[in-house]
A and B are shown apart, each in its own frame.
Chain A
Amino acid sequence: MTRLIMAALAALMLCVSMAAAQDSPIQALLQEHRALIEKSSRKTIQPAIDALRDSGLPEAQAVLEKWQAKDLWQRDADKLFFFGEKVDSKNYRLLDIATGEVAGEFPKKELNQLKPNSGVRSLIGAALVQFQLMAKDPAKRIEALDAIQRDPAEEHLVALAGAIEKETDPDIRDRKERLVRLLTISYGETEEARIAAIESFKGDLGVDVRGALNPLVATSREVAVGALHDGGNIATVLKPGSPEFSEAEAYDLLVSKDLVLPRITAVDRRAALQENITDARVGGVPVAQLNSEDARERAYQALAEAGLVRTAATQAQIAEALAAHVFFETYSEPSAAITEAANDTLSSINTQVGFNQFLDLTLDAMSLASIYFLAAIGLAITFGVMGVINMAHGEFIMMGAYTGYVVQQVIPDYTVSIIVALPLAFAVTFAAGVAMERLVIRWLYNRPLETLLATFGISIALQQLAKNIFGTQARPLTSPAWLDGALVLNDVVSISYIRIAIFVLALIFLGVFLFIMKRTRLGLEVRAVTQNPRMAASMGINPDRINMLTFGLGSGIAGIAGVAIGLYAKVTSELGSDYIVQSFMTVVVGGVGNIWGTLLGASMIGFLQKGIEWMNPSNTLAAQTYMIIFIIIFIQFRPRGIIALKGRAAGD
C-alpha cells in the first residue's frame, strides 16, 4: 500500500515536474537544439551555444556553466535536461534547470550525462566569457577583462566584441574596445582588420601592445642551398662572419639542419688525438710537432681516414659549405603586410618610448642635480664668499646625516624626527663650522693651499671619529611613510616622492639663500666683505664676525643636505667623501661666487652624469670617469666656470 502510494506520488511529481520543465523557456530552447547538443561535436555545436547565449534568459549562464562542468544530464525517459547531483554511486538527484527545484532521484542507468569534449567546452567557455563581460557587477566585468588579458584566446574576440555595445561604464567600455583591438592583432579574421588594429596602436606605450606585436615580428634563422627561393616572409639575409652572425653560428645552423658534417671542437680534437698516440706519433705525425692547429688537423684527418675517430669537417670544408648556402631570417608570420605594419607600429612605439625615457632621464637628472646642488651650496658659500676651500665640507654633510640618525633613535616617529632633525642638523654643523673657523681657518686666510690641507686634516680626523663612534656599517635613516612610493606618470616615466622632496628642498634653499643675500642686513654685509674687506671694515662691519657667520651658514646648509642625502643613501662615515669631489666640481664648473653658477653647475653635472649613464647603463663607474674627463675639458673653454666674474673683480 505504502509502496503504491509512493509510486503514485512519484508519478504525480514526475508529471508536475515534467510539466514545469517543459514549460520553462530554457528547456524549450534546449529541446529545440536537442539534436545538436546530443551530437556534441565542435563543428556543429555553435548554433546551440549561440542560441543559449543570445537567448537573454537568466538561466542560460547557469546552464552553460553546468554543461561545461559535465553536470548537465538528460533523462532517457523524456529527453528532458536537468542538473545532476551525485547521491551515491548508483543514484543521481536531478534539479530543474529553470527553477533549481529538486526533480527527484533517479538511478544512473536511466540517465544520460552530457560529456562535451574539450573543443565544445572551450566554445562554451567563450560564450560564458560574454556573460561575465556583461555581468551587472562592474568588478566582475573588470575581473573578466583581466582574465582575458592574462591569457588571451581567439574565442574571446567575438565575446568581447559582442559585449561592447551594452557596456554603460565608459572606462570599462574603453578598456573593452582597446582589448578588442589588441586581440584583433593576433586573431583578426581578415588581414585588413589586423593591419588596421596594428596601426591603431601607433605611439601606444602599453607593455601589452608590445607583448602582442613582438611575436608577429619574431624571426627564425633559416638556410637555403644555393640561392634564395621565393615564398616565405623573409626579414633579412644574413652574411656569415658579420658581427651579428658569426661563421661558427652559421655552421652550427647548417649542422642543426643536418646539411653538413659536424665540426669538432679544438678541445675534443685534442682529447681524440691524445687517445690515439702510438709510438709517439698520431696518425703519422710526430707528437712533438702537434703544437700547431694545422698539424693537429692533419693528424686528425689521418685518424679519421683510418676509421679510428669520427670524421669531422675540415676548415676548407666548412668554408665551402658556408659559401654554398644562403642564410636568412624569416618571420613566423606569413603575411608581409602584417609584419611590415607591426614593424612600423613598433618603431613608432619605440620612438614614443624613447621620448618618454628621455623625460624619465630628465627627471632623474634633475633630482641628481638637486642633490649636488644641496651638497655644493654650502661649499659655494664658503669658497665663493671667503675664498676658503673646506675639505671637511663632506664631513659636515656626514655629521648632518648622523644627526638625523641619532634623532631617529630618540624619536621613533619618522615624520616628527625628520622635522626635528633638519634644524638640529643645521645647529650642530653650524656650531662645528663656527668652531673650525675660529680655531683654524681664521689663522690661514690668504693661504688657500694651507687651508685646504688643514681642513683636510680635520676631515680625516672627523671621518675616523665617526667610524669610532658609529662603526663602519651603514646606518639607516628612514624616511617617513608619506615619502615612500613613486609618482607614476605612465609605464615608462616615474619618480619617487623622496626625490621630489629633495628637489623641493633644493628650491627652498635657493630661495632662502637669495633672500638672505639680497634682502637681509647679513647678506648686505657679506656682499660688502666679499667685494672689499677693508672698505667694509672701515664702514663699521666686522669682517671677522661676517666670516664666522658665513662659514657657519655654509656648514649648516651642509648639515641639512646631509639629512636629505641620508634619506636616500645609506649613512656611513664615507658619505661625505662620496660627494665632496662632485661638490667641488659643481662649484668650479659653475663659477665661484655666484649661486646661479652653482645651480647651473649642479644641473650640468647631474644631466651629464645621467646622460653618460644612459649611453652606458651597465657601468656607473665609467660614467663618473667620463664625466670628470669632460669637466677637465670643459675647464679648458671656461676656466672660470659657467658664470665668471670679469675684469678687475676677478682678481687676477
Chain B
Amino acid sequence: MSQLLEVSGVSVTFDGFRAINNLSFSIGSAELRAIIGPNGAGKTTFMDIVTGKTRPDEGSIRWGDMSQSLLKMNESQIARAGVGRKFQRPTVFEDQSVYDNLAMALKKDRAPWSVLFFRPKPEDRTRIEELAAEIGLSDQLHRKSGELSHGQKQWLEIGMLLAQEPRLLLVDEPAAGMTLAEREHTTDLLKEAAKTRAVVVVEHDMEFVRRLECKVTVLHEGSVLAEGSLDHVTKNQDVIDVYLGR
C-alpha cells in the first residue's frame, strides 16, 4: 500500500537543542495513528514540521500519490494540499459565529478574488448544518464561538477540520479538558474520520489512546522509539524505561 505521508531522516535544531533527531515516519491513506511520548519528545514540533510552520534542517517529507515534497510549500499551500491540523489549545475564531467558522473552513476555492464574490449556495448551508449536527452544535449555529464551552470549542475545531475535507488530519491532544461523555464522542468522531482519511492523534492520555484501538508510535528525544499496537509498545522495555517506568 502506498503511503500518504512519508517523513524520512528529518532533523531540526533550536539554538543547539535537537528537537527532532533523524525522525522517520509514515502513514497510509486511511489509517488512524496515535503518537505518544513524554514531554519534550518532539510531538508538537513534528506537527509543526509537517504543516510547514517549522523548516527542518535536513530530511525529506513526501506527500500523496505524486510524492510531492512538502518542504517547498508554505502553510496554506500544505493545508490546501489536504493536511488539516487541530491545535492543543482550541483555536476557533471567537469573534465569529459557529456558522461563519464552519463556512470559512468549508472546502472551496480559497483565492481572495473568488472568496470576495462567494455567496453560499443551498448545498453549502446543508453541508454546514450536517457538520453542526455531527459535532453537536446545531443549536449553537448562530452563537458567537467565543461563548461556547471549552469542549464545544474543541468540537467546533474538529468540525472545521472535517469541513476542510483533508486527507490527513493532525490532532493535538483532542481530549484535554473534556468530560468523559465528550471524550467518547470525540473518539467516535476520530474513528469515523479515519475510515476515509489518515488521522494522526497526539495524546498523553493512555485511556483515550487505548479507546482509539490503533497503531501507536512512541517518540522519545525527537526520534521513534517503538511502533506497534498499544499492548505491544507498552511491553517494550525502552518505552517502559523512558515513559512509563518513571
Direct contact of A and B (CB under 8 A): yes
Measured in the bound complex, the distance between the Cα atoms of B14 and A652 in whole Å is 13
Interface string of B153-197 (1 = CB under 8 A from A): 000000000000000000000000000000000000000000000
Tell whether B15 is near chain A: CB-to-CB under 8 Å.
yes
Is the C-beta of A257 less than 8 angstroms from some C-beta in chain B?
Answer: no
Residues on the B chain within 8 Å of A649, using CB: 14-15
Chain A residues, CB < 8 A from B113? none
Q: Is A648 in contact with chain B by the CB < 8 A criterion?
A: yes
Which residue of chain A has its CB nearest to the CB of B54?
A647
How far is A9 from B19 in the complex, measured between Cα atoms in Å? 125
Indicate with 1 or 0, residue by residue over A611-652, a CB within 8 angstroms of chain B CB atoms: 000000000000000000000000000000000001111001
Which residues of B137-166 have CB atoms within 8 Å of chain A's CB atoms? none
Within 8 A of A (CB), among B1-41: 14-15, 17, 19
Residue of B at shortest CB range from A650? B14
Q: A107: shortest Cβ distance to chain B, in Å?
A: 110
Cα distance A646–B19 in the bound complex, in angstroms = 13
A318 to chain B, nearest CB (A): 60
- Taking CB atoms and an 8 Å cut-off, the chain B residues in 51-67 that contact chain A are 53
Q: Which residues of chain A come closer than 8 Å to B19, judged between CB atoms?
A: 647
- Which residue of chain B is the closest to A652 with respect to CB atoms? B53
Complex interface: chain B residues within 8 A of A648 (CB): 14
Closest chain-B Cβ to A6's Cβ sits at a distance in Å of: 117
Chain A 117-160, CB-CB to B under 8 Å as 1, else 0, gives 00000000000000000000000000000000000000000000
Closest to B14 in A: A647
List chain A residues, Cβ under 8 A from B14: 646-649
**A646 CA / B57 CA spacing, docked (Å):** 13
Cα(A648)–Cα(B48), bound, Å: 11
Q: Please report the C-alpha to C-alpha distance between residue A649 and residue B15 in the assembled complex, in whole angstroms.
A: 10
* Bound: A647/B14 CA distance, A: 5
A646 to chain B: which residues have CB within 8 Å?
14-15
How many A residues are at the interface, by size bracket? under 10
The smallest beta-carbon distance between B43 and chain A, in angstroms, is: 14
Shortest beta-carbon distance from B20 to chain A in Å: 12
A526 to chain B, nearest CB (A): 20
Residues of B within 8 A of A652 (CB): 53
Instruction: Name the residue of chain B whose CB is nearest to the CB of A648.
Output: B14
Query: In whole angstroms, how far apart are the Cα atoms of A646 and B54 in the complex?
Result: 11
Of the listed residues A647, A649, A652, the one surrounded by the most CB atoms of chain B closer than 10 A to its CB is: A647
- Nearest residue (CB) in A for B13 is A647
Which chain A positions have C-beta within 8 A of B17?
Answer: 647
Q: How far is the CA of A652 from the CA of B53 in the complex (A)?
A: 9
* Interchain CA distance A647-B44 in the complex, whole Å: 13
Q: Closest chain A residue to B19 by CB distance?
A: A647
* Most chain A beta-carbon neighbours within 10 Å: one of B15, B17, B19: B15
Q: How far is the CA of A646 from the CA of B53 in the complex (A)?
A: 13
A647, B17: Cα distance in complex, Å: 9
Complex alpha-carbon distance, A220 and B53, angstroms: 69
Bound: A647/B40 CA distance, A: 14
- Closest chain B CB from A610 CB (angstroms): 34
Q: How far is the CA of A106 from the CA of B102 in the complex (A)?
A: 130
Residues of A within 8 A of B15 (CB): 646-647, 649
Give, as a whole number of angstroms, the nearest-CB distance from A588 to chain B: 21
Chain B residue nearest to A645 (CB atoms) is B15
- Among B14, B17, B53, chain A packs the most CB atoms within 10 A around the CB of B14
A646 to B15, CA, bound (A): 6
Minimal Cβ-Cβ distance residue in A for B12: A647
Min C-beta distance of B54 to chain A, whole Å: 9
> Please, how many angstroms separate the alpha-carbon atoms of A325 and B15 in the complex?
74
CA distance A429 to B53 in the complex (A): 42
Please provide the chain A residues from 33 to 62 with a CB less than 8 Å away from any CB of chain B in the complex. none
**Shortest distance between the CB of A516 and any CB in chain B (Å):** 24
Interface residues of A in 404-462 (CB under 8 A from B): none
Cα separation A648 to B15 with both chains bound (whole Å):
10
| Interface 1/0 per residue, A218-258 and B, CB below 8 Å | 00000000000000000000000000000000000000000
Complex: chain B residue closest to A647, CB-CB: B14
Output the nearest chain A residue to B45 by Cβ-Cβ distance.
Answer: A648
CA distance A646 to B12 in the complex (A): 12
| CB-based nearest A residue for B44 | A648
Q: Closest Cβ of chain A: how far from B203's Cβ, in Å? A: 21
Q: Which residues of chain B come closer than 8 Å to A647, judged between CB atoms? A: 14-15, 17, 19
Least CB distance from A364 to B in Å reads 37
- Tell me the bound Cα distance from A255 to B53 in angstroms: 75
A647 to B49, CA, bound (A): 12
Closest Cβ of chain B to A95, distance in Å, is 97
Point out the residues of chain A lying under 8 angstroms from B53, CB to CB. Answer: 652
Complex CA gap A384/B17 in Å reads: 23
C-alpha gap A403/B184 in the complex (Å): 69
| Minimum Cβ distance to chain A for residue B83 (Å) | 19
Closest chain A CB from B37 CB (angstroms): 17
Could you tell me the distance between the alpha carbons of A652 and B15 in the complex, rounded to whole angstroms?
15
A648 CA / B17 CA spacing, docked (Å): 11
Chain A, residue nearest B53 (CB): A652
Contact with A along B112-152 (1 / 0, CB 8 A): 00000000000000000000000000000000000000000
Considering the chains assembled together, what is the distance between the CA atoms of A649 and B19 in angstroms? 13
Report the minimal beta-carbon distance from A29 to chain B, rounded to whole angstroms.
Answer: 94
Measured in the bound complex, the distance between the Cα atoms of B75 and A652 in whole Å is 14
Q: In whole Å, how far is B222's beta carbon from the nearest beta carbon of chain A?
A: 13
> Smallest distance from the beta carbon of B76 to chain A beta carbons, Å?
16
Give Cα A328 to B14, complex, Å.
68
Question: How far apart sit A649 and B16, CA to CA, in the bound complex (Å)?
Answer: 13
Instruction: For the complex, give the distance between the alpha carbons of A505 and B14 in Å.
Output: 36
Q: How far is the CA of A649 from the CA of B14 in the complex (A)?
A: 9
Question: Interface 1/0s, chain A 83-97, versus B by CB < 8 A?
Answer: 000000000000000
In the bound complex, how far is the Cα of B17 from the Cα of A385, in angstroms? 23
A648 CA to B19 CA, complexed, in Å: 11
Report the Cα distance A472→B46, complex, angstroms.
60
Q: Which residue of B lies closest to A646 (CB)?
A: B15
Min Cβ gap A323→B in Å is 61
How many Å lie between the Cα of A648 and that of B44 in the bound state?
11
- A648 to B14, alpha carbons, bound, how many Å? 8
Question: Measured between C-beta atoms, what is the minimum distance from B12 to chain A in Å?
Answer: 9
How far apart sit A128 and B145, CA to CA, in the bound complex (Å)?
105
B133 CB, min distance to chain A CBs, angstroms: 36
Minimum C-beta distance from A596 to chain B (A): 16
Q: How far is the CA of A574 from the CA of B102 in the complex (A)?
A: 51
B15 to chain A minimum Cβ distance, whole angstroms, is 5
Complex Cα spacing A647 to B15, Å: 7
| Shortest CB distance B34–A (Å) | 24
A643 to chain B, nearest CB (A): 12
Compute how far the CA of A284 lies from the CA of B140 in the bound complex, rounded to whole angstroms. Answer: 95
Chain B nearest Cβ from A508, distance in angstroms: 31
Given the complex of chains A and B, what is the CA–CA distance between A493 and B17 in angstroms? 49
CB proximity to B under 8 Å, residues A490-530: none
* Min CB–CB distance A640 → chain B (angstroms): 13
Q: Which residue of B lies closest to A649 (CB)?
A: B15
Residues 89-111 of chain B: 1 if any A CB is under 8 Å from the residue's CB, otherwise 0?
00000000000000000000000
Q: Roughly how many angstroms separate A647 CA and B19 CA in the complex, as a whole number?
A: 10
Distance in Å from the Cβ of A108 to the closest Cβ of chain B? 105
Find residues 209-224 in chain A having any chain B CB closer than 8 Å to their own CB: none
CB distance from B39 to the nearest CB of A (A): 13
- CA A652 to CA B19, docked complex, whole Å: 16
**Cβ of B95 to closest chain A Cβ, rounded Å:** 15
A446 to B19, CA, bound (A): 28
In the complex, A327→B53 CA distance in Å?
69
State the Cβ distance, B46 to closest chain A Cβ, in Å: 14
The minimal Cβ–Cβ distance linking B137 to chain A, given in whole angstroms, is 29
Nearest Cβ on chain B to A193's Cβ, whole angstroms: 70
Listed by A's residue number, 10 A-B pairs whose Cβ atoms lie within 8 Å are A646-B14, A646-B15, A647-B14, A647-B15, A647-B17, A647-B19, A648-B14, A649-B14, A649-B15, A652-B53
Given pairs A646-B14, A646-B15, A649-B14, 7 additional interface contacts (CB within 8 A): A647-B14, A647-B15, A647-B17, A647-B19, A648-B14, A649-B15, A652-B53
Lowest 3 A-B CB distances belong to which pairs?
Answer: A647-B14, A646-B15, A647-B15
